[in-house]
């Protein structure tokens, strides 16, 4: 047999077929007009012989078939009239079977068969059974499918359905069912068989043709769904098992996918709900290549919509344990189909999640369970590279957000954050964005630190470099741009928090922003244009506002620390005015808000420490700030605190590595001032307790002396050091002093250090050489103190 | 017209059967292809009627006596003109004399033995000068035909015909099961073949003709398929099976199942069935 290659040839054959058909139809009409039964049968058989062709593709064959179909309607009418005129239908039924060629014979048989049923001369079921059985003679897939589709077409209004005129006595709906099921089974077999026929090289073409024919098969399921008498019980016990048996056994992926989908689409939701177990049990038995995820997704989608349609149906969902069954089935399918791409699994879980959110909105544990199962599937595979899968995960993770409109609820899901490590950086950011958008939209407030922590764990993709090896194509500018805008967003959100939350939420924001600033700083100069929002200056502005919000809490100590942090960062960015502004803010806070003495001590040390590291300030600004700092130090409540703060201030004038920032004179000034305060402290102690206070402060100051001495501050003289040592020695040996082992130990170590330096030899040793251990030159020291 | 008149028979002879109006008439195909209706008799019947001889207007017919003969003949077409009479009955109706006007004679052959049916074959014809048909009661034993056939590792089929003996208006019901299919079958037909053997011994001549070609299946079945058979015999011009009629001839019928593959190779299995004539119920 010639296989047509060209469409042109096919068109020619179709034209020829139509011509032959029309010619015989003409003679048939003439016979019908003259009531010549014999000729009518002869010409109708010849007309139908055109359908015996093997040369047409299903598409063209359909065209021919439709023409024959129309002609057969006329013949059917004629037969009906013949029957009215007294011609017995059974005789007609026999007569048409005399045709020698099987295809015309069976078309005629089906036509008369439908008249036969209508005449009610025989029970409908017998005729139906005979017809469906006789059609087995056509084993050619395309011709068989069309013949059986014709059979289905002419009998569908004559099935012994409940309430139909053909029902009764021997004819029951079961017979109708049996008939349709058998026709369906045979059609499916023919359809599946198509793929094995013909040369292998035309496989694609055949698949395409099969696709064109699928609705002929599916139509049977539609007919089944239209049978009134099929109630739930019958569907569960007969229809579904039989259809599924055929679906599973045909072992054909195209058919399985299409038919599963058909089942889901044509039968009512409540049937699906009540037969979930049966339907789902078929899924793991399907061929591995079947796109089962789409099938199940559609099912869940339908059920979700059903659940959403009316609250009344929900109890049924609970009753049949729909969730457990679906969840179970998905697990099995994923387990059974080892090769299923990850996107498939995620899609399935995503659908299940949607279902669960619709049906069991109150069952957060279900959601978490689904997420857990899904993330379990991801584990051990590293970051996902399939972009479809990651997209699907975003859908999956977005669903609970959309449903609950509340990040707090989502944060309760323990498995939720586990996804992040499997997402690439881009997706992580997308996801973080989704989360933040949700928070913003719903103006959610977060009430506990744990949750904030959890939230930031989720959105860290925005804040942290997750991948050190950035792509070459990676656009830093965009990245920063994006980060900066995200920070704005986070800030907006965070600032909506109440006084109890802000102390917890602000610091992470600040530090992450600073990280971004540092990142910006590390880049090309050109990036930091003013027009960009990712501009350090702008970020600092933002931070300033953010920290200010803390004042309402109030959490001034925290705010102060943050100001200082920012100042330091600004320092690194060479933004003097900004840094100065932050310091100003910190000072204002110190002056106005920090009243507790202990807090003041801590604060002043922080200020000093920070200020010491600042190197961008010009002389004027620096003077102002250091002056203030020393001023604050001297004003602390307790003498020892004053003393310690003041000697700490000495470092403000001596910054290693910055030669223009080494002012030995002022260092000495600070140290002397510290000495004076220490002295005063001791006198105060003498006055109040009758005994001298600890020499600790002196020892500490001595250490400062030694430090600066060693660093080469020429204003620190050997004499002054020697004097201090003498003073301390005298004090410790004085009888009024309270024994202080800690001070003794400290002093001893200090002396040991001096000795150590001497022993080292070289320049350092020379420097230290003149220093001697204690004498008694107290007066001299006092003189010196007063001298300054 | 004298000349034409000269060749005209001298008289018209007509025969009427006494039950001529009620007797069943059946079509009979003559050698020239035309079909005429002839009365139908069966064995053991009385054949009675009248014969009338009427001279052409104004003439007299001289005869050497009038007699009526009932002949059962077998004629071999290869030996045309040579009739073998297996039955010959004679009734004398009149003594020699002259007939001037129409004269009618009654006749009767009672309970005539007509053992064989009239048969028109390819090479042989059995005829009575009267048409005779014999009816057979339904056979008491009529088993189905069931057979598994095939070609090793290539094609295994099992077929089943519901009976081994069919009457002329019968329906052949059956089924073909495909147990193994390794060839690409295009279609499958059921043929009815008639095998007529004439003569005897060295002179035996066998002629086979296909009377029916009935398509059973279109396309290639797969293993496990079963194809129904339902063949109505009535449209075909069959005769009963004849076995060794007077040592002159036999007629046998066969059902031939033919499978044709895509390369047009034919695979077939022939199986004899007996055809018999069942008395009409009408």
According to the model, what pLDDT value does residue A530 have? Answer: 45
| Mean pLDDT within B207-234 | 94
pLDDT band at A132 (very low <50, low <70, confident <90, very high): very high
| Mean pLDDT within A297-319 | 87
Residue A160 touches chain B, beta carbons under 8 Å: no
What percentage of chain A carries pLDDT values higher than 70? Answer: 87
Q: What is the 3-state secondary structure (H, E, C) of A729-775?
A: HHHHHCCCCCCCHHHHHHHHHHHHHHHHHHHHCHHHHHHHCCCCCCC
Residue with tokens 């009963």: B240
The pair phi, psi for residue A695, each rounded to 5°, is: -90, 5
Chain B residues within 8 A of A94 when measuring between CB atoms: 232
Closest chain A CA to residue B176: A137
| Mean pLDDT within A264-278 | 92
- Are B219 and A144 within 8 A, CB to CB? yes
pLDDT band at A114 (very low <50, low <70, confident <90, very high): very high
Length of chain A in terms of residues written: 788
* DSSP per-residue string spanning B16-65: EETTTTTS-EEEEE-TTS-EEEEEEE-TT--EEEEEEEEE-TT--EEES-
pLDDT in tens, A471-481: 333 444 555 66
| Mean pLDDT within A670-684 | 84
pLDDT in tens, A396-415: 888 888 888 777 788 788 88
Residue A140 touches chain B, beta carbons under 8 Å: yes
- Are B232 and A98 within 8 A, CB to CB? yes
Chain B residues within 8 A of A140 when measuring between CB atoms: 218-220
pLDDT band at A445 (very low <50, low <70, confident <90, very high): low
Select the residue from A1, A109, A137, A192 to test the B interface by mutation, using most B Cβ atoms within 10 A: A137
Q: How far is B107 from chain A (nearest CA, A)?
A: 43
Pick the more confident residue, B7 or A410: A410
| Mean pLDDT within A338-367 | 85
User: Is the C-alpha dihedral spanning A531, A532, A536, A542 positive or negative?
Assistant: positive
What the block records as the tokens of A149 is 């589709």
What percentage of chain A carries pLDDT values higher than 90? Answer: 26
Question: Which one of A52, A98, A137 has the shortest CB-CB distance to B228?
Answer: A137
Q: Which of B214, B232, B210, B225 lies closest to B175, judged by CA?
A: B225
Chain B residues within 8 A of A191 when measuring between CB atoms: none
According to the model, what pLDDT value does residue A4 have? Answer: 47
C-alpha A256/C-alpha A707 separation (Å) is 86
End-to-end CA distance of chain B: give it in Å, rounded: 50
Q: How far is B190 from chain A (nearest CA, A)?
A: 10
According to the model, what pLDDT value does residue A491 have? Answer: 67
Closest chain A CA to residue B264: A1
Q: How far is A340 from chain B (nearest CA, A)?
A: 32
Closest chain B CA to residue A52: B218
Is a pLDDT exceeding 70 seen at residue A237? yes
pLDDT band at A499 (very low <50, low <70, confident <90, very high): low
C-alpha A241/C-alpha A278 separation (Å) is 7
According to the model, what pLDDT value does residue A199 have? Answer: 79
According to the model, what pLDDT value does residue A490 have? Answer: 66
Please list the alpha-helical segments (H only) found in chain B: 2-7
What the block records as the tokens of A582 is 């932050």
Cα angle vertex B64, ends B60, B65, to 5°? 95
Length of chain B in terms of residues written: 282
- Are B218 and A141 within 8 A, CB to CB? no
* DSSP per-residue string spanning A135-195: GGGB-SHHHHHHHHHHHHHHHGGGS--TTSTT-BTTB-HHHHHHHHHHHHHHHHHHHHHGG
pLDDT in tens, B38-72: 878 878 888 888 888 777 777 777 777 777 777 78
According to the model, what pLDDT value does residue A782 have? Answer: 40
- Are A102 and B222 within 8 A, CB to CB? no
Could you give the ipTM of this predicted complex? Answer: 0.73
Question: Which one of B185, B218, B225 has the shortest CB-CB distance to A102?
Answer: B218
- Which residues of B sit within 8 Å Cβ distance of A? 185, 187, 212-222, 225-228, 230, 232, 234-235, 262
Q: How far is B150 from chain A (nearest CA, A)?
A: 19
Most confident of A257-271, A626-640, B2-16, B133-147: A257-271
Question: Which one of A94, A102, A197 has the shortest CB-CB distance to B215?
Answer: A102
pLDDT band at A692 (very low <50, low <70, confident <90, very high): low
pLDDT band at A129 (very low <50, low <70, confident <90, very high): very high
Q: Would you tell me how many other CB atoms lie within 10 Å of the CB of residue B153?
A: 8
pLDDT in tens, A164-203: 888 877 788 899 999 999 999 999 999 999 888 777 788 8
Most confident of A546-555, A653-662, B184-193: B184-193
Is a pLDDT exceeding 80 seen at residue A255? yes
Pick the more confident residue, A602 or B98: A602
| Mean pLDDT within A765-776 | 68
Of A271-285, A298-312, A552-566, give the lowest mean pLDDT range.
A552-566
pLDDT in tens, A58-101: 999 999 999 999 999 999 999 999 888 877 899 999 999 999 99
- Are A139 and B220 within 8 A, CB to CB? yes
| Mean pLDDT within A119-126 | 89
Q: What is the pTM of this model?
A: 0.63
Mean pLDDT of chain B: 82
Most confident of A13-27, A81-95, A313-327, A751-765: A13-27
| Mean pLDDT within A332-341 | 79
Q: How many CB pairs under 8 A join A and B?
A: 55
pLDDT band at A784 (very low <50, low <70, confident <90, very high): very low
| Mean pLDDT within A557-582 | 85
- Are A144 and B222 within 8 A, CB to CB? no
pLDDT band at A236 (very low <50, low <70, confident <90, very high): very high
| Mean pLDDT within A659-673 | 83
| β-pairing verdict for B124-128 and B119-120 | antiparallel
Is a pLDDT exceeding 60 seen at residue A785? no
What the block records as the tokens of B38 is 């002839």
Per DSSP, A357 falls in state H
What the block records as the tokens of A273 is 């709900």
According to the model, what pLDDT value does residue B211 have? Answer: 93
According to the model, what pLDDT value does residue A458 have? Answer: 74
Which residues of A, range 510-549, sit inside 8 Å of B by Cβ?
none
């Amino acid at each position: 047999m010639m296989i047509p290659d060209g469409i042109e040839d096919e068109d020619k054959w179709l034209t020829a077929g139509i011509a032959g058909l029309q010619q015989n139809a003409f003679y048939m009409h003439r016979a019908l007009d003259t009531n010549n039964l014999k000729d009518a049968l002869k010409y109708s058989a010849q007309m139908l012989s055109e359908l015996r062709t093997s040369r047409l593709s299903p598409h063209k064959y359909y065209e021919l078939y439709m023409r024959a179909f129309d002609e057969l309607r006329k013949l059917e009418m004629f037969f009906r009239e013949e029957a009215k005129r007294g011609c017995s239908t059974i005789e007609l039924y026999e007569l048409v079977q005399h045709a020698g060629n099987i295809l015309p014979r069976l078309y005629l048989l089906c036509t008369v068969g439908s008249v036969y049923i209508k005449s009610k001369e025989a029970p409908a079921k017998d005729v139906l059974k005979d017809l469906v059985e006789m059609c087995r003679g056509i084993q050619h897939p395309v011709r068989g499918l069309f013949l059986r589709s014709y059979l289905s077409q002419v009998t569908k209004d004559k099935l012994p359905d409940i309430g139909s005129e053909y029902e009764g006595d021997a004819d029951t709906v079961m017979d109708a069912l049996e008939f349709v099921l058998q026709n369906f089974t045979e059609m499916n077999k023919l359809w599946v068989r198509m793929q094995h026929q013909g040369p292998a090289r035309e496989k694609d073409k055949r698949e395409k043709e099969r696709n064109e024919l699928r609705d002929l098969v599916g139509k049977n399921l539609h007919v089944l769904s239209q049978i009134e008498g099929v109630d739930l019980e019958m569907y569960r016990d007969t229809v579904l098992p039989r259809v599924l048996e055929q679906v599973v056994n045909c072992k054909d992926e195209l058919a399985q996918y299409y038919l599963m989908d058909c089942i889901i689409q044509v039968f009512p939701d409540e049937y699906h709900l009540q037969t979930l177990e049966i339907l789902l049990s078929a899924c793991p038995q399907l061929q591995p290549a079947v796109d089962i995820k789409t099938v199940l997704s559609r099912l869940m989608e339908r059920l979700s919509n059903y659940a959403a349609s009316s609250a009344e149906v929900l109890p049924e969902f609970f009753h049949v344990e729909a969730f457990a069954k679906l969840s179970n089935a998905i697990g099995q399918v994923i387990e059974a189909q080892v090769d299923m791409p990850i996107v498939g699994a995620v899609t399935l879980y995503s659908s299940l999640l949607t279902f669960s959110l619709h049906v069991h909105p109150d069952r957060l544990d279900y959601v978490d369970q689904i997420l857990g199962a899904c993330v379990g599937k991801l584990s051990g595979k590293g970051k996902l590279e399939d972009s479809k899968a990651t997209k699907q995960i975003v859908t999956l993770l977005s669903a609970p957000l959309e449903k609950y409109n509340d990040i707090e609820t989502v944060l309760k899901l323990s498995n939720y954050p586990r996804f992040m490590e499997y997402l690439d950086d881009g997706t992580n950011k997308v996801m973080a964005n989704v989360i933040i958008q949700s928070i913003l939209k719903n103006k959610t407030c977060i009430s506990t630190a744990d949750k904030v922590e959890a939230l930031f764990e989720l959105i860290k993709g925005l804040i942290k470099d997750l991948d050190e090896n950035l792509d070459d194509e990676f656009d830093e500018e965009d990245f920063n741009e994006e980060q900066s805008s995200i920070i704005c967003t986070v800030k907006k959100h965070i600032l909506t928090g109440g006084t109890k939350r802000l102390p917890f939420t602000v610091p992470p924001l600040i530090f992450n922003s600073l990280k971004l600033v540092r990142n910006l700083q590390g880049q090309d100069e050109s990036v930091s244009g003013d027009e960009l929002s990712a501009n350090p200056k702008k970020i600092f502005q933002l931070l300033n506002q953010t920290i200010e919000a803390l004042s309402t809490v109030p959490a001034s100590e925290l705010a102060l620390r943050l100001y200082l942090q920012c100042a330091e960062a600004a320092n690194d960015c060479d933004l003097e005015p900004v840094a100065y502004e932050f310091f100003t803010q910190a000072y204002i806070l110190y002056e106005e808000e920090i009243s507790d003495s202990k807090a003041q001590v801590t604060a002043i040390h922080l200020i000093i420490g920070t200020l010491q590291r600042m190197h961008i300030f010009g002389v004027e600004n620096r003077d102002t700030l250091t002056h203030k700092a020393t001023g604050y130090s001297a004003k602390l409540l307790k003498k020892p605190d004053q003393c310690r703060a003041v000697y700490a201030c000495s470092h403000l004038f001596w910054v290693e590595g910055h030669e223009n920032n080494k002012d030995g004179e002022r260092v000495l000034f600070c140290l002397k001032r510290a000495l004076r305060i220490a002295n005063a402290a001791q006198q105060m102690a003498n006055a109040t307790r009758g005994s001298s206070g600890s020499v600790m402060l002196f020892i500490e100051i001595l250490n400062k002396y030694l430090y600066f001495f060693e660093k080469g501050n020429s204003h620190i003289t050997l004499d002054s050091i020697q004097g201090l040592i003498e003073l301390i020695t005298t004090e410790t040996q004085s009888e009024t002093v309270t024994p202080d082992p800690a001070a003794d130990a400290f002093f001893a170590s200090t002396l040991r250090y001096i000795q150590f330096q001497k022993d080292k030899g070289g320049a350092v040793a020379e420097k230290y050489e003149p220093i001697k251990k204690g004498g008694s030159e107290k007066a001299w020291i006092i003189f010196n103190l007063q001298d300054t | 017209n004298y000349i034409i008149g000269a060749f005209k028979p001298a008289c018209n002879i007509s025969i009427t059967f006494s039950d001529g109006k009620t007797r069943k008439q059946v079509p009979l195909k003559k050698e020239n292809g035309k079909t005429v209706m002839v009365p139908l008799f069966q064995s053991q019947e009385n054949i009675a009627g009248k014969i009338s001889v009427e001279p052409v207007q104004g003439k007299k017919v001289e005869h050497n006596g009038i007699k009526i003969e009932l002949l059962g003949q077998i004629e071999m077409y290869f030996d045309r003109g040579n009739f073998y009479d297996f039955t010959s009955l004679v009734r004398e109706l009149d003594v020699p004399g002259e007939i001037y006007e129409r004269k009618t004679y009654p006749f009767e052959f009672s309970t005539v033995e007509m053992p064989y049916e009239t048969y028109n074959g390819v090479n042989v014809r059995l005829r009575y000068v009267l048409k005779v048909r014999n009816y057979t009661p339904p056979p008491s034993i009529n088993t189905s035909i069931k057979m598994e056939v095939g070609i090793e590792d290539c094609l295994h089929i099992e077929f089943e015909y519901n009976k081994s003996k069919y009457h002329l208006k019968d329906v052949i019901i059956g089924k073909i099961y495909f147990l193994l299919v390794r060839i690409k079958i295009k279609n499958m037909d059921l043929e009815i073949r008639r095998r007529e053997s004439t003569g005897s011994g060295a002179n035996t001549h066998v002629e086979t003709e296909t009377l029916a070609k009935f398509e059973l299946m279109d396309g290639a079945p797969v293993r496990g398929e079963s194809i129904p058979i339902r063949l109505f015999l009535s449209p075909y011009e069959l005769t009963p099976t004849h076995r060794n009629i007077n040592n002159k001839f036999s007629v046998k019928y066969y059902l031939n199942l033919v499978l044709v593959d895509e390369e047009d190779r034919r695979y077939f299995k022939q199986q004899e069935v007996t055809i018999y004539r069942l008395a009409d119920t009408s």
